[in-house]
Amino acid sequence: MKEAFPIIRKRIKGPELGEFMLSIRRSGVRTEDLVFLCIGTDRSTGDSLGPLVGTMLEEAGYTQVLGTLEFPLDASNMIHRLTSLPLMKSGKSFIAIDACLGQSSSITSYQVSNQPMEPGKSVGRMLPPVGNYSIAAIVNHNEGNQYAILQGTSLYRIMTMAKEITTSIMDVFPLESAAGLTPEGELG
């Protein structure tokens, strides 16, 4: 019988992202098992975090990425893109990455979980839960007009947080060539 893992849902700061990634790795997930669902749009500064992470991962050589600046994974196309994706039935593990709004004291923190996320929830969207694991970057406060707040979010903050997420992924789940392995999986 497979051992059940306790549900993890906690708020962390950027330096703790690596430990969260290590918890995923310790559960038996390998780099080649991962698909990154980088949710958001390139049309709003605050909501561009997911596509920025996707673009950074793709530029680093990761191939199992859905959601980039060029081809965002957002509310307008998410259901269609996910249901038409053969990887959804492949036994892969999915890490969903998205921006969200939260309390002022939580800005620049991350809400991480070993459970799916509900994208768009902080702006009142009703989309299906996605991911086996989730990282929600708290990019601004949740007060007033959420769309205006996302639009007015600091690009510097978004870039900094996107780099933190990307770095933690690359450190814990390196590509074979980056880990000093040959294509056959032997040390080079």
List the chain pLDDT tens, one digit each, 188 residues: 344 567 789 999 999 999 999 999 999 999 999 999 999 999 999 999 999 999 999 999 999 999 999 999 998 888 888 887 765 567 899 999 999 999 999 999 999 999 999 887 766 677 889 999 999 999 999 888 888 999 999 999 999 999 999 999 999 999 976 554 434 444 33
The secondary structure of residue 127, as a DSSP letter, is -
Nearest to 135 by CA among 12, 44, 7: 12
What is d(CA 127, CA 147) in angstroms, rounded to the nearest whole number? 17
For the whole model, what pTM was predicted? 0.88
Domains in the chain, CATH or no CATH each: 9-172 (3.40.50.1450)
